[in-house]
Amino acid sequence: MKKKILLLDCTLRDGSYITQSHFGAPAIKGIIKKMQDAKADIIECGWLKDKPYEKDTTFYHVPSDMEPYLLERSPRTTYVAMIDWDRYDVSQLLPCDGNSIDAIRVVFPHGKHHEGIQVGEAIKAKGYKVFYQAANTMSYEDEEILDLAKCINAVHPVALSVVDTFGAMYPEDLERIVGLLDRHLDKDICLGFHSHNNRQLSFALSMHFVELLQKSERTAIVDASLCGMGRGAGNATTELMVSYLNEKQHGDYDMDAVLDAIDIYMQAFQEQYSWGYSTPYFIAGMYQCHVNNIAYLLKNHRTNARDMRNVISSLSQEERRHYDYDLLEARFMENQNRLIDDEAAVATLKAQFQDKTILLVAPGTSALAKQAKILSYIEKEHPVVIGVNAILPGYAYDYLFFTNSVRYEYAQEAYGEVFARTKKILLSNIKTAAAADETLINFNRAIKRGWPHFDNAVICCLRLMDKLSVRDVVLAGFDGFKSKYNESYADASLPTLNPDNDWDGLNAEIKSIFHDFRLATRQTMDVRFLTDSL
């Protein structure tokens, strides 16, 4: 009897975006073996790429590169690899010999299904089964779906998969696409679904997909990965799909083997890497946006959610579906700059700070641990006290300086009384219309580009002090980062601005920025540390 629902595990393929394909031989062998033991119907072993094979990775050059990892091949399992339709020269494929993969999945973007299908035909001629992946299927109009079905019927592959590339689908979107394809595809062609979890709907949509095909004669293929491992927001999880299929769809998958794979192999990856639902990837789903745009904004600018939404929404729908880093950088800077006339504000601050010592109180743990020392200094020397990007209890600030809207709003909510009675200096990326107690300064006055995290708040404040001709600055609480976020800040609830948690890298970068600043200002500004700093 033909099986009605097939489970495809794509951990080693989709997870390669997380590990850059470096899983290591034990994990590659082990995950494949455990998925065999779990009775997964299809195991996606990785990618075929146009580059020499590097051992211990899941970016293979030719199918034979996979042979060392396929232990005791199971006759009930189909082993596949994926290619991008235009990034792999299929002429280098030797005929399928049954010693490595059985099939190749060809993925093609919206608008390229004719070309992608031709590539699959060349692969099929060499004896491999062919599966097609219609990336960003949600963008297909009804007429395009009908043409896709017609073209697929003409070549008769094993399967065609619907792909929610941007994690943007709602149930009615899936119903529209699956309904059309189920009616117009030949019934012996399997229909698959590959989801992404940007809206926290991956598992729900995968279940819905299976249920949509329950009354059809067609076999359904549902993709999942261990722990949802995959690019950006990740995928439906293999363990949840196995539980659902066993309990609700008469599946016979071995949950113990799945859990063993997680215990033995996945926990180490979870400790080293991050993936899965997050607010930035929700924004990607909301705007049907390529995840590389989100990753760029996070890595290069630590962009908060509101600014990220503003930047992404400024792109056209076509621009969002691709990634052009020059364009993205330009839109980010447009969003941040928000040019204002700040000449009068600069003149006022320059007059107020003339011949004064400025004490910058940053939010490092030493700002509270050494507070007695800092308050003694304030009482003795009477500096102008500026809180940098945070409010801490026990300080009477003359000014608060903010470079980030999240920190600005957190301070307003968490320390309302101090916030309300203290004058504030804001960069124009936060707002362009000042309240009565606020002074706005153009973003560009306080930054120097050249580093991913060029907008470090203390450095920005130092640059502004230089523009205001301040000659004497003392730093407190500018500690550097420890390995855990809540050990780095005096206020453990302070919103993080370093989403990748690379604290050592951030320390090295800030040190480089600080030394560059001091090189330029050593003759005009005296900068001293009142508390220790890395």
Task: Compute CA distances 45 → 229, 254, 297, whole Å.
Answer: 14, 19, 31
Query: If pLDDT is split at 50, 70 and 90, which confidence band does 342 have?
Result: very high
- Average pLDDT of span 24-46: 97
Q: What type of residue is 228?
A: G
- Give the per-residue pLDDT at 485: 53
Q: Which of 92-96, 301-305, 415-419, 476-480 has the lowest mean pLDDT?
A: 301-305
Task: Quote the radius of gyration of the chain (alpha carbons, Å).
Answer: 28
282 neighbors 309 (Cβ within 8 angstroms): no
- Average pLDDT of span 157-169: 97
Mean pLDDT taken over the chain: 94
221 neighbors 161 (Cβ within 8 angstroms): yes
The tens digit of pLDDT for each residue in 407-458 reads: 999 999 999 999 999 999 999 989 888 999 999 999 989 989 888 888 899 9
- Give the per-residue pLDDT at 104: 98
List CB contacts of 506: < 8 A, sequence separation 6 or more.
453, 481, 498
The tens digit of pLDDT for each residue in 282-292 reads: 999 999 999 99
Q: What is the DSSP letter of 435?
A: -
- Average pLDDT of span 481-505: 76
- Give the per-residue pLDDT at 10: 98
- Average pLDDT of span 349-357: 96
Task: Compute CA distances 61 → 26, 66, 516, whole Å.
Answer: 20, 9, 44
- Give the per-residue pLDDT at 330: 87
- pLDDT of 461 > 60? The answer is yes
**CA 95 – CA 127 distance, rounded (Å):** 6
SS3 380: helix
- pLDDT of 487 > 80? The answer is no
Please count the CA atoms within 13 angstroms of the CA of 476 that sit on its side-chain side. 27
- Give the per-residue pLDDT at 432: 86
**CA 301 – CA 456 distance, rounded (Å):** 10
H or E segment to which residue 421 belongs: helix 416-421
- pLDDT of 225 > 70? The answer is yes
- Give the per-residue pLDDT at 382: 97
Phi then psi for 124, rounded to 5 degrees? -60, -35
Query: If pLDDT is split at 50, 70 and 90, which confidence band does 503 have?
Result: confident
3-state secondary structure 228-284: HCCCCCCCCEHHHHHHHHHHHCCCCCCHHHHHHHHHHHHHHHHHHCCCCCCHHHHHH
Beta bridge partners, 6, equal: 221
Q: Which of 495, 534, 483 is nearest to 511 (CA)?
A: 534
- pLDDT of 1 > 60? The answer is no
- Average pLDDT of span 97-124: 97
Query: Sheet harboring 438-441: ordered strands across?
Result: 438-441, 423-427, 399-402, 384-388, 357-361, 472-476, 526-529
- Give the per-residue pLDDT at 54: 96
**CA 149 – CA 117 distance, rounded (Å):** 11
Q: What is the pTM of this model?
A: 0.74
